[in-house]
Amino acid sequence: MRTFQYSDAKSHKFWNIEVSGGSFTVTYGKVGAAGQTQTKKFASADKAQAEAEKLIQEKLKKGYVETTPRATSSVAEALEKALAADPHDLTAACAYADYLYEQGDPRGEFMQVQIALEDESRSPAERTALKKQEAKLLKQYEKDWLGSLAAITVDAESVPFWAGGKERQRAPVAHRFARGWLSRLEFHRLTVGQARVLAQASARFLRELLVELVEYEAPVGATQQYIDSYYEPGPDVPADTDPYESPGLHALCRCPQLATVRYFRLGEMEERVDGREEEYFNCHTSGRLAYHVVKQMPNLEELYLLAHRVDANKVFALPMPYLRVLQLYHSDSYPLDKLAANKSLTNLTTLLCHPHALEYDHEEEGAYIRLPHLRAICRSSHLNALTNLHLRLTDFGDTGAKEIVESGILKRLKVLDLQGGCITDKGARLLAGCPDLKHLDYLNLSHNALTKAGERAITATGVKAALGSQHGEEAGEFGDGDIPDYLFEGDIE
């Protein structure tokens, strides 16, 4: 049987065909469903095979990608299969490196060198020698190992960017090898063309995928203004795609390499000053297609979504049994009750939430993260591995502090970040009086409503805490119907 899949922002479906004598059977439908089956008979086995090949070619032209498993016929394929199943398997990586080295493949030595560099106990002299050999091998073979991806990485013209107040240069797509194979790709401004190169490339061990921004693009011949670039129309980008709504992500949805990704980030990482995040963020990335990309990553371990308009209702319901870190910034939807009910999230250790600045039409509802959301997280029977909880720009105040204490979640938390809220001295005393607070390595109650008395109560516990920029409870902030200023301490665009 030969198997095929088609994925874009609107569908994710399969099509399989099996030839048996003078007939073939086709099975098709949505990925994850049983699908429908049709059988067709022919005058001969040759005729059945010929007609099957015609159908296969038609599917390939429409954008289907063949996913037929190949029979393992060599030691190399068996080891590659083991590494694809578990990229953390050091034993399999070492065995594969040794095998390739014995076959005279320079990648074997490259794998051995990079694996050796993971050993922090090696002397400085050993590490220096290993790094020189790593650089030598990359200089000689990097383009061969990158294949078609070399055109958008090492061979691509550098582009300017600002860092540290200065204009610098960098490749439009950064990359990194780990244990001898391409492991990481970072698109600074994803284009349709770059996504198409990835879709056709050999990157079977790609583990980390980052997309900071997505180019404003239109099809060749379009007349829209303020467009960064143009792309050739194709089945991977719907004809009605808005140039400002991430055409490149449509094309990315068609990349078969998504299934191997363990770390995915969409959006620009927040700026830090003296190790702390800025209070205000600017987000320029659309997250409308985030769900359609993420749903094709069943092995995710870390997920960072720093983008507007993410469909969190769908993302939070996805089966993600390996997920350890989940960050959602800039959103105006935080259905944390759905996240708490997700039975697959038993390995989630870190949850980071910082909403978009409050929109005026949400004034009646209040903050984007409210008491029922907090209660769902604290009382979840599935999030038992959670040790790092950031819930910012909230309005649950002292009632939320009481819920945190009474739920018992402090018994396992190491970091609790409630920056931007309305916790008063009463809430601070509730937290300080809980014996389980001592389990925390860090507590962030900055931008709340504490007085010096509340700050002293927290400080007396000995827990490392951030308590700056308290805004108090003055009229005009709480109690008279005005929107609290702290709810605007997020992305304001």
Listed residues 40, 66, 92: the one ending a domain: 66
pLDDT exceeds 50 at position 479:
no
Residue 171: band (very low, low, confident or very high) from pLDDT cuts 50, 70, 90: confident
Listed residues 37, 66, 95: the one ending a domain: 66
* Residue 212 shares a structural domain with residue 325: yes
Domains identified in the chain, total number: 2
Q: How confident is the model over 317-327, as pLDDT tens digits?
A: 999 999 999 99
Q: What three-state secondary structure class fits 285?
A: coil
Q: How confident is the model over 436-467, as pLDDT tens digits?
A: 999 999 999 999 999 999 999 999 999 999 99
pLDDT at 478: 46
Q: What number is the average pLDDT over the span 198-209? A: 93
**Cα atoms found within 13 Å of the Cα of residue 308, Cβ hemisphere only:** 16
pLDDT exceeds 70 at position 475:
no
Give the separation between CA 5 and CA 3, rounded to whole angstroms: 7
The radius of gyration of the chain's CA atoms, rounded to the nearest angstrom, is 26
Give the separation between CA 186 and CA 251, rounded to whole angstroms: 16
What mean pLDDT is reported for the chain? 89
pLDDT exceeds 70 at position 139:
yes
Q: How confident is the model over 382-412, as pLDDT tens digits?
A: 999 999 999 999 999 999 999 999 999 999 9
> Does a structural domain hold residue 77?
no
pLDDT at 68: 85
CATH number at residue 172: 3.80.10.10
pLDDT exceeds 80 at position 377:
yes
Q: What percent of the chain has pLDDT above 90?
A: 70
* Residue 164 shares a structural domain with residue 281: yes
Nearest 10 degrees: Cα torsion 470, 474, 475, 477: 0
Cβ-count burial of 18 within 10 angstroms (0-12 exposed, 13-18 middle, 19+ buried)?
Answer: middle
> Does a structural domain hold residue 29?
yes
Give the separation between CA 237 and CA 297, rounded to whole angstroms: 20
pLDDT at 170: 74
Give the separation between CA 473 and CA 21, rounded to whole angstroms: 80
Give the separation between CA 455 and CA 463, rounded to whole angstroms: 12
pLDDT exceeds 50 at position 88:
yes
Listed residues 66, 99, 122: the one ending a domain: 66
Look up the domain containing 37 and give its range. Answer: 2-66
Higher pLDDT, 224 or 206: 206
Contacts of 16 (CB under 8 A, 6+ apart): 1, 2, 3, 4, 26, 27, 28
Q: What number of residues does the chain have?
A: 493
pLDDT exceeds 70 at position 167:
no
Report the relative pairing of strands 65-66 and 2-7 from DSSP bridges: antiparallel
